[in-house]
Amino acid sequence: MRIYATFVYLFLYIPIGVIAVFSFNSGRNASDFAGFSVKWYGKALANPFIMDALKTSLTVALLSALFASVFGAMAAVALQGIRGPVRTAFDAVINVAVMIPGIVIGIATLIGLVTIFEQLNPLLDAIWPFASAAPRLQMGKTSLVGAHTMFLMALCIIIVRARLAGMDRSLTEASSDLYATPFGTFRQVTLPQIFPAIAAGFLLSFTFSFDDFIIAFFVAGSETTLPIYVFSSIRRGVTPEINAIGTMVLGASLFILLIAQTLLRRGSRKVK
Amino acid sequence: MTQRTRNFLLLAPAGAWFLLMLVVPLSVVLIFSFGERGAAGGYVPAFTFDQYANLPARWAAFRNTLVLAPVGTLSALLIAYPLAYFLAVRVSAKWKMLLLVLVIVPFWTSILIRSYAWIFLLGGRGIPALIEFIGFPAIRLINTPFSVLVGIIYGYLPLMVFPIFVSLDRLDKRLLEASSDLGAKPWRTFLQITLPLSIPGIATGCMLVFILLMGEYLIPAILGGGKVFFVGNALVDLFLQSRNWAFGSAVAVTLIVVMLATVTVYMRFMARLSANRDDVSLI
């Protein structure tokens, strides 16, 4: 049993380890280890395409995570006190959002937005009051943030809702018995309790958006995110530079995940 | 501010966002699937079932998906179950959490980079070279259904372990003691108590993995080398290369319908199985 588990852990971590080891390879050839060197990290960090892609990915991930966690938490709090058709509609939409494959989200956003833009762009040209050309609506960072936020908002609603469901009702009742205003109760009782869930939702959303390839592949337009850059490089062949990027990305997500994990656990301990 | 307006204001951003970014786009896909392809790609309004009639043209992608998704799910289950059992039943409370987190964490890291690692391991200089070194004839592993299967298991194992672990962890351990006190052999305890009581976890895990696999693109694209392709790969081809939006939409709608149908049948089956479970636990 123990031996079996060891094997599974090796299976899970050897591939990651191999990438990390080979990222320190000084040789040009990706599959022969020639000696220890950090030069590929330097090359990766000096590559303007990689840095641009990284900047795009970070901007999109930050905005998506922010919108998703804030709007998601707001919706989760409101949904708690609602029954009837609005609740049913939201439940249905949330389920659809997390159930349908990412690739379908990508496709739908692509053709949905392009169709809307095709209608709006001539309209914008017609009403544009200045001499210069009217701005054109097109796929890019905004559509990326739009698609990521949509999916991640559903995820954040689920996370915050789970925390709300685990909350002790008597605390909010006590608060209103003691003449706290609804907003006062929310700020002083509910918010501190759900805050770890919101923060964890933010961090999970950030990592998801940062790592997402398939939605971005359809929706990014002419923008390049880091996963899109890595994917097209892999297509051209394995290089130590990609290993270095991969190791950095894995390291960064591991770090963020550990924080998210700690927050979620600390949150659940407090509630109990 | 009344409670009504407050709830409305709280729900408005999320509601508008879902409407614009999910409901409208999905409706567009549905509408386009009944349309026609424009001369330069894109979409021409029409109402026709031609796109659906043309589906057999992409039969190979559906066949691969419908074979490899269940096979991948089952393989992941077979590998995940003993590990979940080990973590839930055999490991001391002190190590349990850490070991569980170690299983789950890879799932939240980039699947792109994790799949890429297997190009390394399964490629000519990796495991095949090792096999040759030991003295066996060299075999080709990369760009085969096998490499795609390895990628699938590797990518989705964490998602399978977690729900099974949860159901086994909740299992009342006194049942196991009672069973052995009453003279049941370990395997009998397992078959009659542990396994039936972990069915909800198995069901959740299989469904999660299966749903994600139905829409998979990256793993076959990276480890299948264009020879092993899923519906996802056909969709990328139709939307990004040939720009055949009408036919692509029909393929996407079909994918969702097939997925929903499979999941519904599966849930019915699982519901019946856990209904039987009640009989088992009563005995």
Give percent of chain A above pLDDT 70: 96
Predicted local distance difference test score (pLDDT) of residue B283: 33
Q: Which of B108, B113, B125 is opposite residue A207, by nearest beta carbon? A: B108
Residue A170 corresponds to which tokens in the numbers above? 């008597």
Residue A233 corresponds to which tokens in the numbers above? 């490089």
**Mean of pLDDT over chain A:** 88
Alpha helices of chain B — where are they, by DSSP H? 3-18, 24-32, 50-53, 59-85, 93-104, 111-122, 127-134, 145-170, 173-181, 186-189, 195-197, 199-214, 218-223, 231-236, 245-282
Q: Which of B27, B117, B216 is opposite residue A19, by nearest beta carbon? A: B117
Distance from CA of B279 to the nearest CA of A (A): 30
**What does the radius of gyration of chain A's CA atoms come to, in whole angstroms?**
23
Distance from CA of B204 to the nearest CA of A (A): 13
What CATH fold (topology level) applies to the domain A58-231+255-271?
MetI-like fold (1.10.3720)
- Reduced to 3 states (helix: H, G, I; strand: E, B; else coil), residue A25 is strand
Supply the DSSP string of B133-181, one letter for each residue: HHTSPP---TTSHHHHHHHHHHHHHHHHHHHHHHHHHHS-HHHHHHHHH
Asked if B215 and A31 come within 8 Å (Cβ–Cβ), the reply is no
Average pLDDT over residues A242-249: 89
Is residue B280 pLDDT above 70, yes or no? no
Long-range contacts from A112-117, C-beta under 8 angstroms, 24+ separation: A112/B21, A112/B24, A112/B25, A112/B26, A112/B27, A112/B28, A112/B29, A113/A139, A113/A143, A113/A146, A113/A219, A113/B25, A114/A139, A115/B28, A115/B43, A116/B24
Asked if B120 and A96 come within 8 Å (Cβ–Cβ), the reply is no
If we measure between CA atoms, which residue out of A73, A148, A76 comes closest to residue B21? A148
User: Residue ranges of the domains in chain B?
Assistant: 57-282
Q: Which of A231, A250, A261 is opposite residue B109, by nearest beta carbon? A: A250
Predicted local distance difference test score (pLDDT) of residue B139: 80
Is the CB of A44 inside 8 Å of chain B's CB atoms?
A: no
- Reduced to 3 states (helix: H, G, I; strand: E, B; else coil), residue B34 is coil
Is residue A196 pLDDT above 50, yes or no? yes
Using the CB atoms, write b or e for A221-248: b if 16+ within 10 Å: bebbbbbbbbbebbeeebbbbbbbbbbb
What count of residues does chain A have? Answer: 272
Predicted local distance difference test score (pLDDT) of residue B282: 36
CATH among 2.60.40.10, 1.10.3720.10, 3.40.50.720, 2.140.10.10 for B57-282: 1.10.3720.10
The rounded distance, in Å, linking the Cα atoms of B102 and B10 is: 37
C-alpha dist (Å) from residue A130 to A118, A126, B197: 21, 11, 70
Asked if B87 and A5 come within 8 Å (Cβ–Cβ), the reply is yes
The confidence band for B263, taking pLDDT boundaries of 50, 70 and 90, is confident
Which residues, numbered 159 to 218 in chain A, qualify as contacts with chain B under a Cβ-Cβ cut-off of 8 Å?
A: 182, 204, 207-208, 211, 213-214, 217-218
Average pLDDT over residues A169-190: 85
The rounded distance, in Å, linking the Cα atoms of B30 and B10 is: 30
Find chain B residues with C-beta within 8 A of A109's C-beta: 21, 25
Distance from CA of B103 to the nearest CA of A (A): 7
Residue B90: half-sphere exposure toward Cβ, Cα within 13 Å: 12
Average pLDDT over residues A29-55: 85
ipTM: 0.88
Residue B182: half-sphere exposure toward Cβ, Cα within 13 Å: 11
C-alpha dist (Å) from residue B208 to A132, B3, B76, B160: 51, 37, 12, 8
